[in-house]
Structure 1
């Protein structure tokens, strides 16, 4: 952790222009820090947070675990973003209603919650940025709920594979367990669906990898 935040301000404001109005005096407040976090670090649901976290580098996955133990990915946040659910729990002084897992080596700006609330009150541009993050993730969450409630699992698997191969690749390194977490369904359901798609000649399944992905064929099932 680095307490000398001032040397990082130019880099921070390049990623978060909404923080450009923050005064040097406010940046000098005790407790604001740059933190390096390694993969697999987890913040569990139900905690009362002490810091608001803005991602400078890396990727963090936000997810929920049901009472039965089933896990679903809500969304990911990357450099230049923050987690609206985290901000909501801080502003509402309530428990964090999701879990967060660091997926790649990450660098974050940690702001003590009392300073974060003060900046939200006093700096309009920062407040607008946070509201925009809320709106963006609300749209993503709405699409996720629609997908779970109204789309077939075949359509959801096809959509995920098409999305993850937008770079033109026809192969994806992913396990059935991971795919079940991404889509919020049982591993057995994923296995049956992939086997069915394989029989149709739309992909090949091997241990830890889906290959020979026929994007155009899969798009037929995207609802």
Structure 2
């Protein structure tokens, strides 16, 4: 990628000294991902820090029974913090969660040695990482609150409303993907969607959900 594209996506690069910015860009190894491609598997060794330039990645955990729970997303202009965490854990330098592409995405991986050097000398990179940590910590807190205090139907309706612009655009997803987002089973999501459709909240087609005006109680 061109330097301008990098600095547009990651403005902190504009504040770095020329030699540090040049080393960052020269170290970045680009990767084009297809939807569903796994970047980091749980218990695998991390080889670098992932920076997202386009698309969306998800950080998720898989239980022993095979149920997947999406913890949070990583969007363009952000770094995947799990790849930072597993590198700094010297005793067990492996990932404790997984990372995969939600859609076609462009990422770049900064190898461990280059990242550690740049992080040690660049306050701009340090501030960027702290900012990412703050946002994802809040995302985890939000997830815990929703899973603790709201039932699946409430969380499902809220997710659909947020991702359809309150009904302005359709949501293209599957029941399995929704289940992973909400930390429940596909069967539960299917039952909730059928109930909402019967109540007139939404309309479903294969891989597509359209939110309708919520009826008055």
TM range (shorter): 0.7 to 0.9
d(CA) in 1 for partners of 2:187 and 2:52?
A: 35
Q: Measure, in 1, the Cα distance between the counterparts of 2:17 and 2:106.
A: 20
Q: Which residue matches 2:196?
A: 197
Structure 2 equivalent of residue 214 of structure 1: 212
- Distance between the aligned counterparts of 1:169 and 1:29, measured in 2? 40
Q: Please state whether the residue corresponding to 1:181 is helix, strand or coil.
A: helix
SS of the residue 1:81 aligns to: coil
The runs of at least 4 aligned residues of structure 1 exceeding 6 Å deviation read none
The alignment yields a C-alpha RMSD, in angstroms, of 2.5
8 A Cα contact 2:31 2:108, kept in partner: no
Q: Output aligned runs, 1:112-123, within 5 Å.
A: 112-123=111-122
User: Contact 1:162/1:215 (CA < 8 Å) preserved in 2?
Assistant: no
Give the distance between the partners of 1:71 and 1:188, measured in 2 at CA: 14
Partner of residue 32, structure 1? 27
Structure 2 length normalisation: TM-score? 0.86
- Alpha-carbon offset, residue 72 of structure 1: 1.4
Pairing 1:101–2:97 present: no
What is the match of residue 45 of structure 1? Answer: 42
Q: Can you give the 5+ residue segments of structure 2 that lack an aligned partner in the other structure?
A: none
Q: Which runs of 5+ in 1 are unaligned?
A: 1-6
Cα distance in 2, alignment partners of residues 78 and 159 from structure 1 = 20
- For 2:215 and 2:146, locate their aligned partners in 1 and report how far apart those are by CA, in whole Å: 20
Residues 99-147 of structure 1: per-residue CA shift (max 9 Å, x gap): 1112333332321112211211111111011011001000001100111
What is the aligned residue count?
212
CA contact (8 A) 1:34 1:107 kept: no
Tell me the equivalent position of 2:52: 55
Q: 1:36 touches 1:105 (CA, 8 Å); kept in 2?
A: no
Provide the C-alpha distance between the structure 1 equivalents of 2:198 and 2:5, rounded to a whole number of angstroms.
51
